[in-house]
Each structure stands twice: as structure tokens, then as C-alpha cells.
């Protein structure tokens, strides 16, 4: 079932007109070189900023949904981990929550391994700890679609895997999930579907074996496989 359908997402100079459909229960990872347009695409799908186009989640036009409804349908994790105000982790998650529930926040804190620092100020947490709190904020309403900009950035190896598990669990619950990652091995191991973006357009879309073929890796990233690692192509 198509859960999210974005059409004509475009930003002149950054991203050519792009159509994407995400199915319920599917984890799609978006990869591409720096400046390829990953964040622009995600922001455009979330209808943030100046990008043109339209995005529907469960048939609802994201751009016209008001604050209460939009957060039910869409969870968005921005790439920035900066916080301006000295809020506690618990309060930060509550700010993203539509139906206030302390129990739900406590459970979410446990889920992202933050039970011990729920009452600490987020501006005094490490970047990785803060990243998990911000992810928790995006997940707290159990939205039907998740657009996550680098959910595993800044995380240690264990938490990269745990966050991918969390994201996969979200997909199993029925959400459509699109997340950007830089680690191609991680992408290959965990995604059912991979989108490769380069120069502001999608150049490959499919299961890891085809989307991350040697030709595409060389053309878009300029790298090639060598044994267990990577070399410059």
C-alpha cells in the first residue's frame, strides 16, 4: 500500500522534479554524495522551505495539514543537532507530542536508551545522546510516515545498529520510512530499497544489489569495492 506519495518535488539549482512513492512497512534508505540533494529532497517532501511540489500521506496533502494533524502523519528529523534553549530531554520530546502522556515519553526515553538522562538539559548532553532525543521527538506520535535526515550520524557503532532496529520496527508497525545515511555498508545490510541521488536527481532506485551496483558506485560516489573496504575509483 502506498503510504506517502511525493510528486514534482523540486528546488531550482538544487533538485530536479522528483517523484517518490513510499509503501507502508517499507524502510527506504537515501544515499548520495555531499550536496547531492538528500536534505533538499527530504525537506521538500516534508513541505519545509521553498521547494515546489506536493506530498500526500495517506491521501492527506502535507502542505495543508495544520499543527495537530501534521505531526500525526509525519515525523521529521532535521539534520541539525543544535539546540538553542536549555530544555530537559523529557520536555523536548513533550514539545513534539500531540496527545500529552508522561508514560509514552518515559517509554520512548527507554527505547532510545535515554532513561538515565531524561531530566538533563539537552544542551549539556553529548551530540550522540542529543541525536537520540531528537529522534525520539520525531517518533513520539507514531506517525504514518517518517522522514529522517541522517538518523545514525554522530552515533557510536552500537547505537547506529540500535537506531536502525528502531527505524525498522517503525516500518514493521506500518509506517513508511525514508532515511538518509552515508555508510553504504550499513545501507546495503539494512534497507529493503535504496534510492541513490546525485546532482539533484534520483539515479538509482531498487534493492541494494542493483541500486548499489559497481557502475553506480563509480559514477556517483567515485569509489569502488576493494576486499572488505573501499578505494577511490
Nearer of residues 122 and 184 to other proteins, judged by Cβ? 122
Stretch that binds other proteins, among 82-90, 101-109, 160-168, 199-207 (CB under 8 A): 82-90
What is the rounded radius of gyration, in angstroms, for the C-alpha atoms of the chain? 17
Stretch that binds other proteins, among 30-38, 67-75, 101-109, 215-223 (CB under 8 A): 67-75
CA nearest 78: which of 129, 24, 138, 29?
138
- Rounded to 5°, angle at Cα 59 from 1 and 168: 45
Q: Is residue 130 a contact point for other proteins (CB under 8 A)?
A: no
Look at strands 52-57 and 27-31 and give their pairing. unpaired
Stretch that binds other proteins, among 75-83, 155-163, 184-192, 196-204 (CB under 8 A): 75-83
Q: Kindly tell me which residue out of 76, 117, 159, 221 binds other proteins, with binding defined by CB under 8 A.
A: 76
Nearer of residues 137 and 190 to other proteins, judged by Cβ? 137
* Per-residue mark of binding to other proteins, 165-194 (x: CB under 8 A): ------------------------------
Q: Is residue 50 a contact point for other proteins (CB under 8 A)?
A: no
Number of chain residues interacting with other proteins (CB under 8 A): 31
Q: Kindly tell me which residue out of 3, 38, 56, 70 binds other proteins, with binding defined by CB under 8 A.
A: 70
- Give the span between the Cα atoms of 30 and 196, in whole angstroms: 6
Q: Is residue 71 a contact point for other proteins (CB under 8 A)?
A: yes
Q: Looking at beta carbons, which pairs linking 208-213 to residues 24 or more positions away fall under 8 Å?
A: 212/31, 212/184, 212/187, 212/188
| Partners of 54 in the β-ladder | 7
Q: Looking at beta carbons, which pairs linking 97-103 to residues 24 or more positions away fall under 8 Å?
A: 97/140, 97/141, 98/68, 98/71, 98/72, 98/141, 99/141
Stretch that binds other proteins, among 62-70, 162-170, 182-190, 205-213 (CB under 8 A): 62-70
Nearer of residues 8 and 78 to other proteins, judged by Cβ? 78
Stretch that binds other proteins, among 29-37, 60-68, 188-196, 214-222 (CB under 8 A): 60-68
Q: Is-contact 27 49, C-beta < 8 A?
A: no
- Give the span between the Cα atoms of 119 and 88, in whole angstroms: 5
Q: Kindly tell me which residue out of 69, 127, 210, 226 binds other proteins, with binding defined by CB under 8 A.
A: 69
| List of residues contacting other proteins (CB under 8 A) | 43, 46, 48-49, 65-71, 74, 76, 78, 80, 82-88, 91-92, 95-96, 121, 134, 137-138, 147
Amino acid at each position: 500500500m502506498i503510504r506517502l506519495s511525493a510528486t514534482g518535488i523540486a528546488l531550482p539549482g538544487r533538485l530536479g522534479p522528483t517523484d517518490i512513492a513510499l509503501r507502508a512497512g517499507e524502510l527506504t534508505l537515501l544515499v548520495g554524495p555531499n550536496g547531492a540533494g538528500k536534505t533538499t529532497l527530504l525537506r521538500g517532501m516534508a513541505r519545509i522551505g521553498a521547494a515546489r511540489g506536493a506530498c500526500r500521506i495517506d491521501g492527506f496533502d502535507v502542505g495543508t495539514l495544520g499543527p495537530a494533524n501534521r505531526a500525526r502523519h509525519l515525523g521529521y528529523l532535521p539534520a541539525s543537532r543544535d539546540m538553542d534553549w536549555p530544555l530537559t530531554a523529557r520536555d523536548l520530546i513533550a514539545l513534539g507530542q500531540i496527545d500529552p502522556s508522561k508514560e509514552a515519553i518515559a517509554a520512548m526515553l527507554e527505547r532510545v536508551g535515554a532513561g538515565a538522562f531524561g531530566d538533563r538539559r539537552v544542551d549539556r548532553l553529548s551530540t550522540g545522546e542529543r541525536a537520540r532525543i531528537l529522534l525520539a521527538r520525531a517518533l513520539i506520535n507514531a506517525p504514518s510516515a517518517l522522514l529522517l535526515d541522517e538518523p545514525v550520524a554522530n552515533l557510536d557503532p552500537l547505537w547506529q545498529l540500535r537506531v536502525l532496529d528502531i527505524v525498522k520496527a517503525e516500518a514493521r508497525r506500518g509506517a513508511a520510512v525514508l532515511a538518509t545515511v552515508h555508510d553504504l555498508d550499513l545501507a546495503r545490510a539494512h534497507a529493503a530499497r535504496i534510492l541513490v541521488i546525485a546532482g539533484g536527481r534520483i539515479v538509482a532506485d531498487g534493492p541494494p544489489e542493483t541500486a548499489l551496483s559497481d557502475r553506480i558506485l563509480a559514477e556517483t560516489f567515485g569509489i569502488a569495492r576493494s576486499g572488505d573496504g573501499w578505494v577511490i575509483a
